[in-house]
Amino acid sequence: MYVDRIVFSQLIDFLPKYQFNKCVRLYRGNNRVRRFSCLDQFLCMAFAQLTYRESLRDIETCLRSMQSKLYHAGFRGNMSRSTLAEANENRDWRIYADFAQVLIAKARQLYANDDFGLGLKQTAYAFDSSTIDLCLTLFPWATFRKRKAAIKLHTLIDLRGSIPCFISITDGKTHDVNILDQLILEAGAFYIMDRGYVDFSRLYLFNQHQAFFITRAKSNMNYVRRDYRTVDKTTGLRSDQTIVLRGNKSSKDYPVPLRRVSYYDSENQKRLVFLTNNFFLDALTIAKLYRCRWQVELFFKWIKQNLRIKTFFGTTENAVKTQIWIAISVYVLVAIVKKELEISRSLTEILQILSITLFEKVPMDKVLTETFPQSGNDEFSNQLLLFDL
């Protein structure tokens, strides 16, 4: 509750402190730590994400300029760039990965009843990866190419609320399809992926777990048609077929029938062919579901534009993963605040407002919801006129 408290302190109230402390104890994060706890580290890194800091020196300078307000914001240790760098390098990144999962679980409950536009009762996920380029000299552990380093952010998005519910951080050489082995498949749910994830032995596991996949077919797929259903071509559909694979390897990897839906995207003048193991939804819904896959692309675009995951404060693998997981935590925290305070603004607008009001003593719900229209009265304006009329 707001009683003459700064915005940053009100924001931190949305963090489940008990669960955070459990994550810290699990990995002994505060073992032999006297002055700069894991919570201090999290708050420093969250501050850097919320206010778009560029470096450790930048974080140190800005926080020290607010020294008198840091205690009220939740900080208990003395902040210095060397202390923060050491913490990022040595404290187990899994502390913040586990805590991010706690926030994700809370956010998914809040957004469980949201509709993503298709009126689908089942849960639907979009799965993809994004590559973050790095300097090979500074990040030699992030192998990618001969003269280039990179990491991959493999993400499964719950389409209700665009909440990331699974994230795996690997080096750039890891093939996307290998990450399918790490997914815990949910019976009855839909998993939407691009054709980079077409591996029929892995796709057959969806059948065995009673889950559904929607992906795009490769152009060289060897198959034979078993049956077909009539479609309304005015909707963009071209065909709806039941097929079986007949390649020597693919027919063994996936021995049961598949559904093949062909759709013409008039907007981009492109023909798309989808594969799925779901035979109950109508063909047009299958095509619309695949279009929802762009939610994960928008997530990658948003997080790269609004948070610090392309410029890193440390060069070790532990420091990079710590920064990414805290960035994910900040994203989910803002989504929780948006839902619990019933704010109509976008996540980007909320971040922009928070970035300039973190140390102001105003009610957070008020500063995020109120709008102050620009006055149209120019009588006392200091702005000069471009033209004298």
Decide: 328 and 308 in contact? Cβ < 8 Å: no
CA distances from 252 to 53, 201, 277, 321 (A): 53, 8, 16, 39
**DSSP character at residue 170:** E
Does 376 have pLDDT greater than 60? no
CA 320 and chain centroid, separation = 16
> What pLDDT does 3 receive?
61
119-178: pLDDT as tens digits: 888 899 999 999 999 998 999 999 998 889 999 999 999 999 889 999 999 999 999 999
Whose CA is closest to 48, among 78, 69, 79?
A: 79
pTM of the model: 0.89
Question: Which two tokens mark 375?
Answer: 């006055």
226-256: pLDDT as tens digits: 999 999 999 999 999 999 999 899 999 999 9
Q: Round to whole Å and give the CA distance between 89 and 225.
A: 56
Mean pLDDT of the chain: 90
Whose CA is closest to 30, among 76, 63, 70?
A: 76
Question: Average pLDDT, stretch 185-206?
Answer: 94
- Bridge partners, residue 245, by sequence: 223
- Which amino acid would we find at residue 80? S
The residue whose two tokens read 């190419």 is 145
Does 387 have pLDDT greater than 60? no
Instruction: Give the CA-trace dihedral at 23, 29, 30, 31, to 10 degrees.
Output: 120
As a whole number of Å, the CA-based R_g of the chain is 25
Does 380 have pLDDT greater than 50? no
**In percent, how much of the chain has pLDDT > 70?**
94
> What pLDDT does 4 receive?
76
5-28: pLDDT as tens digits: 899 999 999 999 999 999 999 999
Question: Average pLDDT, stretch 292-297?
Answer: 90
> What pLDDT does 74 receive?
84
Q: How many CB atoms lie under 10 A from the CB of residue 271?
A: 11
Q: Round to whole Å and give the CA distance between 6 and 75.
A: 13
Question: Average pLDDT, stretch 258-266?
Answer: 94
Does 111 have pLDDT greater than 90? yes
